[in-house]
A and B are shown apart, each in its own frame.
Chain A
Amino acid sequence: MEKFSKLLSSAIPLIQENVDTDQIIPARFLKATSREGFGEHLFKDWRFDEHGEPKSNFILNDPVYSGSILVAGENFGCGSSREHAAWALLDYGFKVVISSYFADIFKGNALNNGLLPVQVSSNTLRELLEAVQLDPMTLIEIDLEAQLLRVNEIGILEHFETNLYKKTCLLNGYDDIDFLLSQKEKISAFERKHIEF
């Protein structure tokens, strides 16, 4: 997993709420057996028509917007547990997703892959979406160490919550398996006294 500490980037505003993982990556593209290459199919049916032509009304196809931050409506990532959704966002080039609410499994998957979910208040989300739509070059700064989101142009400075353990993992590029493997003795000791039927 790549390390993450700070990011300063313009953003892409996706105003839809309840964006589910079937939209992020439709099931018919889950057939790969590696983690690479899913970016091509990110938001496939919103991005492309049935002939494979880009749909001009979808935000990722609007050349005005660019950047490695996705600002999305409330309850991002609901539905299927497919980690492919996080892989597709990363592979496409996103490093941060900002929303006012994330679905649990998606949030965990994102953190396990070095994609940072930043949860902000509904007000801040609205202000961010408006600011980015008004000026696509608006720069958003994410400082994981300080847990701060900053947009100088519009005077936003917001603290965001993140799990301390997960934060350490992201800052250092560690993953959970390294940690769990180091706990094997404790796990075996637990298993010896664990009763199950």
Chain B
Amino acid sequence: MGKTLFEKVWDNHIVDKVEGGQEILFIDRHFIHEVTSPQAFDGIRKRGIGLYDKNRIVATADHNVPTKDQHLPIKDELSRLQVDMLTYNCKEFDIELYGLGHKNQGIVHVIGPEMGITKPGMTIVCGDSHTSTHGAFGAVAFGIGTSQVEQVMASQCLLVQRPKTMRIIIDGELGKGIYSKDIILYIISKLSTSGGTGYFVEYAGSAIRSLSMEARMTICNMSIEMGARGGMIAPDETTFEYIKGRVYAPSAKQWGDAVSYWSSLYSDEDAIFNKEYVFKAKDIEPMITYGTNPGMGMGITQSIPTTKEVERPDNLLQSLNYMGLNPGESLLNTPIDHVFIGSCTNSRIEDLRIVADFVKGKKKADNVQAFIVPGSKQVEAQAKSEGLHDILFEAGFELRGPGCSACLGMNEDKIPKMEYCVSTSNRNYEGRQGPGARTLLVSPLTAAVIAVEGKVVDPREYLNQDTFV
């Protein structure tokens, strides 16, 4: 019997099997950041052991960093302490750190791929649930807790239970103005916030094949939002083309061997998945969330469910009460206070291009504070060189330095209580963007159109015939 893509990569990393069905899984790359690593370093020190292999660890500071005045010391004392601690730990253990001020600094899930560290067939972990992003390259990549960060530091391995496999096929062509963010929000709205729990997902089908690497990363990034352990896409020419020439890409001498190995990473025709879903690309509208988990999403022209349409009306009402919305109503024309474009989901160069392409020559609405946070210093530099910064600045967008920013209300960028933020990030939980903040998740294009109109609108009605493919 054939193997799935996931099984090929996973099986290639099994050191041994132990009692109770757990497996010892070898980890090729370990990304760390300032929030979930200090206690792990502490553990390593207390045990008096060293790192298994410092060269397999890559560090960056992203969650706590301010996005304004990055050259100045961090104002918040605890944030500064955490970032300083990472610098100190990396120095002590001699780990490569892309810290604040480094030309490669950025959100961990943006810099890994852009430096070519993330490659097909690898196992990749990080103390961060959005590690699933790297699955876009055909890697088995998933988020872990701090105890596991310590395990990987100590042994380069994890003791894990093999997840079940799921395939989600999206066939056909996407409509105009529909992006990969809409695909993943659509999938999560169908499967719910727990529909993928226990599974490792493979995304396949012609709609997925047609996507760029940036767009594929957006999809894999949000796998965790349906509870899945991770998500992956079989590598192909698009993948190889993206990796070629990057700092940590295989050398010219190794390139042929690498590509021939990577080309073997796909699900065999007779491979069996524990679960399978098929969706049609033409059924997907621009999506928006109305509630307080990413599964509470709908097509932008649809209405919020009524209490009769859901299993747990009490949960719906609690969410809508927090959001200041009512069952059965449409979100169209709802005035918006903030538009945030950024996060490990949508802060890559392609996202910035989509936004700039739309807002060129336009102005953001007066009632909206619009800000863009590039995912990395490299994205920032690229955007500047393409002139995107000027376009966005002219349109009234505030441009910040790279970091996790308003995705998680941990740094200085927070959304005030009860204000609406249309956001390209990944979570709309209560208080996620700041205590009492109300988040509506959308694609970068939808966010750009809403920034200009000042209220929720269907982006498709504002597209110039010639501009968008």
Contacts A45-B431, A177-B150, A195-B261; A163 near B22 (Cβ below 8 A): yes
Contact B129 A30 (CB under 8 A): no
A30 CA to B121 CA, complexed, in Å: 33
A194 CA to B257 CA, complexed, in Å: 15
Contact A180 B24 (CB under 8 A): yes
Contact B315 A104 (CB under 8 A): no
Contacts A27-B408, A187-B15; A165 near B22 (Cβ below 8 A): yes
B306: chain A residues at CB < 8 Å are none
A104 CA to B430 CA, complexed, in Å: 21
Residue picked from A18, A23, A109, most chain B C-beta under 10 Å: A18
Contacts A18-B293, A74-B194, A75-B194; A197 near B250 (Cβ below 8 A): yes
A86 CA to B435 CA, complexed, in Å: 21
Task: Indicate which residue in A30, A166, A176 contacts B35 across the interface (CB closer than 8 Å).
Answer: A30
A41 CA to B15 CA, complexed, in Å: 39
Contacts A23-B431, A45-B430, A180-B155; A187 near B24 (Cβ below 8 A): yes
Task: Indicate which residue in B35, B49, B129, B146 contacts A181 across the interface (CB closer than 8 Å).
Answer: B49
A104 CA to B38 CA, complexed, in Å: 23
- Selecting from B74-82, B105-113, B347-355, the interface stretch reads B74-82
Task: Indicate which residue in B12, B18, B293 contacts A20 across the interface (CB closer than 8 Å).
Answer: B293
Contact with B along A21-54 (1 / 0, CB 8 A): 0110011101111110000000001000010000
How many residues of B sit at the interface, in one of the four size bands?
A: 35 or more
A75: chain B residues at CB < 8 Å are 193-194, 197, 227
Q: Is B236 an interface residue (CB 8 A)?
A: no
B197: chain A residues at CB < 8 Å are 75, 101, 103-104
Contact B258 A197 (CB under 8 A): yes
Contacts A22-B430, A177-B150; A50 near B193 (Cβ below 8 A): no
CB-CB nearest in chain B for A1: B147
Contact with B along A105-123 (1 / 0, CB 8 A): 1001100110000000000
B22: chain A residues at CB < 8 Å are 163, 165
A17: chain B residues at CB < 8 Å are 312, 315
- Selecting from B96-104, B156-164, B172-180, B457-465, the interface stretch reads B156-164
Instruction: Enumerate A138-197 residues with CB–CB distance to B below 8 Å.
Output: 163-168, 175-177, 179-181, 183-184, 186-187, 190-191, 194-197
CB distance from A182 to the nearest CB of B (A): 9
Contact A112 B250 (CB under 8 A): no
B408: chain A residues at CB < 8 Å are 22, 27, 80
B78: chain A residues at CB < 8 Å are 31-32
A27 CA to B129 CA, complexed, in Å: 13
CB-CB nearest in chain B for A112: B147
Q: Is B385 an interface residue (CB 8 A)?
A: no
Contacts A20-B429, A101-B197; A163 near B21 (Cβ below 8 A): yes
Contacts A22-B432, A184-B155; A108 near B145 (Cβ below 8 A): yes
Q: Is A59 an interface residue (CB 8 A)?
A: no
Sample (15) of A-B pairs whose CB atoms are under 8 Å apart: A18-B295, A31-B81, A34-B39, A50-B417, A50-B436, A80-B427, A83-B36, A83-B145, A104-B163, A105-B144, A112-B147, A177-B147, A183-B24, A187-B24, A197-B257
A81-B36, A165-B21, A175-B147 are known contacts; what are 12 more A-B pairs with Cβ within 8 Å? Answer: A30-B63, A31-B82, A33-B82, A79-B427, A83-B36, A105-B129, A163-B161, A177-B151, A190-B15, A190-B26, A197-B250, A197-B258
Closest 6 CB pairs of A and B: A164-B20, A165-B20, A31-B78, A109-B145, A83-B145, A180-B155
Chain B contact residues, CB within 8 Å of chain A: 12-13, 15-16, 18-22, 24, 26, 28, 35-36, 38-39, 42-43, 47, 49, 52, 63-64, 76, 78-79, 81-82, 85, 119, 121-122, 127-129, 143-148, 150-151, 154-157, 159, 161, 163, 193-194, 197-198, 224-225, 227, 229, 250, 254, 257-258, 261-262, 293, 295, 312, 315, 318, 408-410, 417, 427, 429-432, 435-436
